[in-house]
Amino acid sequence: MNAGGDAAFCALIVMGVSGSGKSTIAVALGQRLGWIVEDADRFHAESNIDKMRAGIALNDDDRRPWLRAIAAEIGRRRANGTSVIMACSALKRAYRDILVQGHSDTRIVYLRGDRSLIMSRLKARGDHFMPQALLESQLATLEEPTEDERPIVVDIDASVDEITDRIVTMLDAGWILS
Ligand SMILES: Nc1ncnc2c1ncn2[C@@H]1O[C@H](COP(=O)(O)OP(=O)(O)OP(=O)(O)O)[C@@H](O)[C@H]1O
Ligand SMILES: O=C(O)[C@H](O)[C@@H](O)[C@H](O)[C@H](O)CO
């Protein structure tokens, strides 16, 4: 499958900690591929947003219904045959398992970066409900995807265009079929 084509359904989960660039890269990828882009934040209960706004990290119980709602949305897209890019922190393996559900058409794109770069981007970011102080808990919770998850891993120390190029190149190189 060509990454720019529309031959088959595909879902890309663009994951990483807060400030790693999920929303930004998902939008750029969506423009490049012509796929629908969704932001997982849209699926949070108001109570989750309030919690984060108050500087309290979410726990597994807070995240479970949210992840299930996102998985249901991916399922709806699959049923319609509409490929989708989902920007979602998906910090733990167990969270990704809820999202992927063993489907080979649903793949992980991991935005990898170091604490100082991510913090500098969070500091430069305008108004957002997610406080910078929660970065530490995001990093502590993060379980990087392992090889068996067949992730696309991209270093975020590059421009948005470069990161997007790299992801599209990997998709075009047949990664999607591997
Ligand atoms: N490659 C990049 N180069 C420079 N700035 C970037 C890059 N990627 C993202 N940014 C900027 O970094 C900030 C964080 O990006 P973004 O909001 O997309 O991250 P996020 O992972 O979606 O965060 P959150 O999970 O908190 O919503 C934004 O201000 C964005 O414009
Ligand atoms: O799992 C989580 O803790 C949340 O999804 C967070 O990652 C925020 O929603 C996101 O960072 C803000 O956009």
Residue 104 tokens read as 């080979």
Q: CB of 23 closer than 6 A to ligand 1?
A: yes
- Ligand 1 binding pocket mutation candidate from 88, 121, 136 (most atoms within 8 A of CB): 121
Residue closest to 95 by CA, chosen among 129, 130, 71, 131: 71
State the Cα–Cα distance between residues 59 and 72, nearest whole angstrom. 20
Q: CB of 21 closer than 6 A to ligand 1?
A: yes
DSSP for residue 44: S
The CATH number fitting domain 11-177, selected from 3.30.930.10, 3.90.79.10, 3.40.50.300, 3.10.20.30: 3.40.50.300
Q: CB of 146 closer than 6 A to ligand 1?
A: no
Model-level ipTM above the cut of 0.85: yes
Residue closest to 56 by CA, chosen among 140, 142, 133: 133
Query: What's at 136, amino acid-wise?
Result: E
Q: According to the model, what pLDDT value does residue 128 have?
A: 85
Q: CB of 160 closer than 6 A to ligand 1?
A: yes
pLDDT tens-place string over residues 12-40: 999 999 999 999 999 999 999 999 999 99
From 3-7, 8-12, 104-108, 139-143, the region with the lowest mean pLDDT: 3-7
Sequence spans of domains, the chain:
11-177
**Full-prediction pTM beyond 0.90?**
yes
Task: Indicate whether 175 pLDDT > 80.
Answer: no
Where are the strands (E) in the chain, listed by range? 11-15, 36-39, 84-87, 106-112, 152-155
